[in-house]
Structure 1
Amino acid sequence: MIPLSGPDITQREKDLVMEVLDSGILGLGPKMKQFEQMMAEYVGVKHAISCNSGTSGLHMLIAAMGIGEGDEVITTSFSFVASANCILFERAVPVFVDIDEKTYNLDVTQIEAKITPKTKAILPVHVFGQPANMDEIRALAKKHNLWVIEDSCEAIGGEWNGERVGGLGDAGVFAFYPNKQMTTGEGGIIVTNNDEIAELCHSIRNQGRGEDGLWLSHVRLGYNFRMDELSAALGVAQLERIDEILAKRDAVAKMYSEKLKDVAEVILPHVEDNVKMSWFVYVIRFAEDVDRDLVMERLSKRGVGCRPYFTPIHLQPFYVERFGYKRGDFPVTERVADKTLAIPFFNNLTEAQVDEVVAAIKEEIANAKEPAAL
């Protein structure tokens, strides 16, 4: 079995976790503060507020920005469902925009047509670790007085024109689930230069407690979105190694790109010239005459981990039922999503494993041509 993903844990991570266990301080302790300071410095922002997931981080930002019932937030359907759900949590409405067929990010040329008097924010997702066109997004936001929330959950270390993502909008969020570039087990972090947003998020994640720190004093509606000390310890160790981690993933991506470049039925990931890609997953796209689902089924039977990335949010049963979406509403998103497949990708994937995956893909493509193409 070659899994789809896997964390990269060394003795350093184990040592810091044991340090926390030995300290007896398992929550709201020094490791959380250390991790937050390190992350703020890494991204180049004033504030970092850790939390228990990237989803929670996005939810807190929607709440902290005062986005509520009936408000609209422009975002993408080609993403994990949390980037739209976070809007619904506050009874606002996600407004989807189709994607660019090369980068799979928001098509910035379609954003302005979706802006209405109810629009409060633009929420771009740096899909698969490729930064979205932040110049155009920030210009539109400035023109229409909108917030910009960066969903950077898949993109730690990614850069747009030499600037690290997360710090390019009003606030951003990173996530550290075990399939991400770096992991804290479960966890996420908000980054921002906005003092008010930071203060509100500190409070919201901690049951709405005020900045005075009084334990049973609650000044607003809040949640238990805190990151624990064990997770923060993992974060410290992983962030210490982030350059090594990203380099490992870049090397694996280059191996795949080299070994798959001559496979006519495979469209390789496209990376824009002005970005630094942070490889979250390696997603290939099949030609129109290849049955992606059949390839996926056959690869899985051979023990090769794979998964469709992404199934469009607007076609998820809950969104179809609630909003009446149907196929054809976002044709580029749907065309891409029908043919994309994430293949095994993690820091310590070996060249022998890459060769095995590539050989399997080549063999199964031949068995998965659409009937009309035979």
Structure 2
Amino acid sequence: MKVPLSGPDITEREKQLVLEVLDSGQLSLGSKLEAFEAKMAAYVGRRYAIACNSGTSALHMLIRAMGIGEEDEVITTPFSFVSSSNCILYERARPVFVDIDEQSFNINPELIAKHITERTKAILPVHVFGQPANMEAIMDVAQTYGLRVIEDACEAIGAFWNGKMAGSFGDAGVFAFYPNKQMTTGEGGMIVTDDPELAALCRSLRNQGRGEDGLWLSHVRLGWNYRLDELSAALGIAQLERIEQLLGRRAEVAARYLEKLADVPGVILPVIDPRAEMSWFVFVIRLQNSLRRDFLMERLLAQGIGCRPYFPPIHLQPFYQQQFGYQQGDFQVTESVSASTLAIPFFSGLTEAQIDYVCRAIHQELAVCL
């Protein structure tokens, strides 16, 4: 049996809206983009939403829009996809890493304050795997030291912390819609904020720095082509219309994994903070130190089961080691978690037979690893 790691959930509704765009003849900066932004702002509970071509672009625009630049510092996590710190480097600022909590895999808010310097301008927490970071604690630190907060909620649409939606805590939040996400636009991202100046500036930055008057070829600042096209926006509308269905189905798949892997020796299942409502992005198991993660991964792949380490530590990526001199042991919790975690097949269309096949394979192969 072949079981892919992930897969998008596309229905006739998505196809219908995409065909509407093709029939309209307007493929960029049209009514679908405006509708998608309005629906996303309403869903998250923020005043403004600015769509763009990726979560990375959204993060980059916010770094620029907040005036973060050369020699400034932004506190963030080393356990994430690399773009959450790359976006800081784009503006020649420096990511300052803070180790993670071993249960949630999110940045440890208790360690943030001791990394703050006179150059610190912002905190960029990442809601890893769809579990929100402790945003109340993070916001307390930010307010104490006068720092901006950019929430990377790219993996956490529809998640809640203490009853408040991820992406609605900081000065701005960011979502992403790559095909493996809970909802997809193919490629795409979204900024959400309550700040009208920040929203206006990001709208300009995504469209080559065009002025707010919208005059053709009138550019008042340096910007980029970070626009989201109408076809992608149409996908986003359809996916957002049934977001609760998408999230609910993923929660069902997660529940089946939690049930079937609960008694497998050597497997540590995800731990959900009681204050958090999870939005399942991926399903990541952790293996006890006595087990060989890479051996298991090779054996699962040989049986047609998609799997992948999640995440390699950012600070140990070759580029970061070369530029900043990071070494093994600099962030011990991150490194320990990274070396022992494995993402297994997870998407809303996963069948019961596929789930059974994956769980049986894990059980059998771990027996060999012990």
Structures share fold, TM-score greater than 0.5: yes
**2 CA distance for matches of 1:264 and 1:99?**
25
TM superposition shift of 1:366: 2.0
**TM-score normalised by structure 2 residue count:** 0.99
**Residues 307-349 of structure 1: per-residue CA shift (max 9 Å, x gap):** 0000000000100111010110000000000000000000011
Match of 1:372 in 2: none
**Residues 157-197 of structure 1: per-residue CA shift (max 9 Å, x gap):** 00011111111100010000000000000000000001111
Match of 1:107 in 2: 108
Number of residue pairs aligned between Structure 1 and Structure 2? 369
Match of 2:252 in 1: 251
TM superposition shift of 1:242: 0.1
**2 CA distance for matches of 1:137 and 1:33?**
32
Match of 2:283 in 1: 282
Match of 2:314 in 1: 313
**2 CA distance for matches of 1:169 and 1:161?**
15
In structure 1, the residue corresponding to 2:251 is in which secondary structure? Answer: helix
Moved more, 164-173 or 229-238: 164-173
Any residues of structure 2 matched to 1:19-38 within 5 Å, and which?
Answer: 19-38=20-39
1:234 and 2:235 are equivalent in the alignment: yes
TM superposition shift of 1:225: 0.1
Match of 1:303 in 2: 304
**Residues 221-258 of structure 1: per-residue CA shift (max 9 Å, x gap):** 10000000000000000000000000000000000000
Any residues of structure 2 matched to 1:1-374 within 5 Å, and which?
Answer: 1-369=2-370
TM superposition shift of 1:23: 0.3
Amino acid at match of 2:31: P
**1 CA distance for matches of 2:235 and 2:298?**
35
TM superposition shift of 1:274: 1.1
Runs of 4+ displaced beyond 4 Å: none
Identity %: 66
**1 CA distance for matches of 2:257 and 2:265?**
14
Amino acid at match of 1:176: F
In structure 2, the residue corresponding to 1:183 is in which secondary structure? Answer: coil
In structure 2, the residue corresponding to 1:367 is in which secondary structure? Answer: helix
TM superposition shift of 1:267: 0.4
**1 CA distance for matches of 2:211 and 2:269?**
49
In structure 2, the residue corresponding to 1:285 is in which secondary structure? Answer: strand
TM superposition shift of 1:363: 1.1
**2 CA distance for matches of 1:197 and 1:143?**
22
**2 CA distance for matches of 1:365 and 1:191?**
43
**2 CA distance for matches of 1:140 and 1:245?**
34
**2 CA distance for matches of 1:181 and 1:215?**
36
Amino acid at match of 1:293: D
**Residues 96-155 of structure 1: per-residue CA shift (max 9 Å, x gap):** 000000000001110000000000000000000000000010000001000000000000
**1 CA distance for matches of 2:367 and 2:198?**
53
TM superposition shift of 1:364: 1.1
Amino acid at match of 1:107: N
**Residues 208-233 of structure 1: per-residue CA shift (max 9 Å, x gap):** 00100012111111000000000000
Structure 1 residues without counterparts, runs of 5 or longer: 370-374
RMSD value, Cα: 0.5
